[in-house]
Amino acid sequence: MAESAPRQYVPLTCHGHSRPVPHLSFSPLEKEEVYYMISACKDGNPMLRDGQTGDWIGTFFGHKGAVWQARLSPDASTAATASADFTAKVWDTHTGELLWVLQHDHIVRAIAYPFDNSDMLATGGFEKKLRIFDLHDQKPLSSPTSANPSVATPVTIETSQAFEIGEGAHKDAIKFIVWAKDPNVIITASGDTLRWFDLPTRQCIREAKLEGEIKSCELVYLAPAFSSPTDIGGGLPVLSVAAGKTAYFWGGVRAEDELKRMTLPHGIASVGLDLKGRKIVVGEDPGTWARVYSWEDGREIDVHKGHHGPIWSIAFSPDGNLYATGSEDGTIKMWKNCDGFYGLWRGGVSGSTGSD
């Protein structure tokens, strides 16, 4: 193999879902090499997995419609899911039990936690309203008996108890919500427009109209032990957005300093960013391949084949050593992004290891 050629590793394939996977995300790093992955699925059953191996941990049962997004809280103690059944739900990641039901009046497409607060949630969807729910004052009541401590009564919170931010600002359904490193700033993706909101005033403070409908919008960051001032974004999170044939990137504590935009020869269904390795990974649209491009000069450096449907979501692990792709084909694939032994990968040459 030539020195400059990309080093191929056999991906790990995670089965279990019966419908398309529109979204997946990782938890923060709990301790060295311990983190989790959660996947949303149109089968209505989000799944929790070991983030490093993809091994199934549990399935959250209770939604009565497709689950569009799923995220883990900053302390990984809860998981939040956004569904077509007009609810967002919050789950205990240790017991699997349902803790909160956030009732809405239409399909919920987007959900987000702040960077460092597991008691707050932002939701958005077909109501075209950005809402903030404070869970801190409405804790589920656990059973007083230690014989069955897992029995708790979920708390239902109506939208009237939430705070609406930027009333009337959205003209289209909210598809993604990102909470910036600055806890007072929230960004939404709606139609072809990104909007930045200031929480104290509840006002929209900036809009950016992009090339086309926004297909992917995520805040990418590494665990503090792995981040560095030499990373893309200087050690701060980077907002990565796909719209039309262009990938856009913003940095800074408010995710509003444009770092780069990269126009590709094909449409983009999803985008992931390797902050340390300085490359981007995109799901082509239309198509089923993931293509890897150099951050510096935009040249294509690798192609990942294996999915049998569009790749709707790409997420990097908190240590940057792997990334996962979620597809219309109902599978998740995990791709190694480091040299040497890691997780279930044992070798360092093409095709020498992995499970498929």
Instruction: Retrieve residue 215's tokens.
Output: 């297909």
Could you tell me the residue ranges of all domains in the chain?
A: 12-336
CA 181 from chain centre, in angstroms, equals 15
Instruction: Say if pTM beats, i.e. exceeds, 0.75.
Output: yes
DSSP 60: -
Determine the pLDDT at residue 214: 98
Alpha-carbon separation of residue 188 from 40, 90, 254, 338 (angstroms): 19, 21, 13, 32
Tokens at residue 115, please? 């960077």
Q: 126: which 2 tokens? A: 């077909």
For 19, phi then psi, to 5°, come to -140, 180
pLDDT score for 149: 55
Q: Give the Cα-Cα-Cα angle 239, 48, 194 (nearest 5 degrees).
A: 20
Exposure letters 226-242 (e unless 16+ CB within 10 A, then b): bbeeebbbebbbbbbbb
pLDDT at 185: 98
192-198-200 Cα angle (round to 5) = 150
Query: Residue 286 has which token pair?
Result: 């239309």
pLDDT value for 140: 76
**Could you state, in chain order, the average pLDDT of each consecutive group of 10 residues for the chain (356 residues)?**
54 95 95 91 97 96 97 96 98 96 98 96 98 88 52 88 96 97 97 98 97 97 95 97 98 97 97 97 97 97 95 97 97 94 70 34
In CATH, the architecture of 12-336 is 7 Propeller (2.130)
Q: Which residue from 21, 15, 40, 17 is spatially nearest to 356, judged by alpha carbons?
A: 15
CA distance 163 to 178: 17
pLDDT of residue 4: 47
Contact by Cβ (8 Å): 324, 312: no
Edge-to-edge strand order for the sheet containing 78-83? 67-72, 78-83, 87-92, 98-103, 155-157
DSSP 3-state assignment of 160? helix
Q: What was the pLDDT predicted at 144?
A: 47
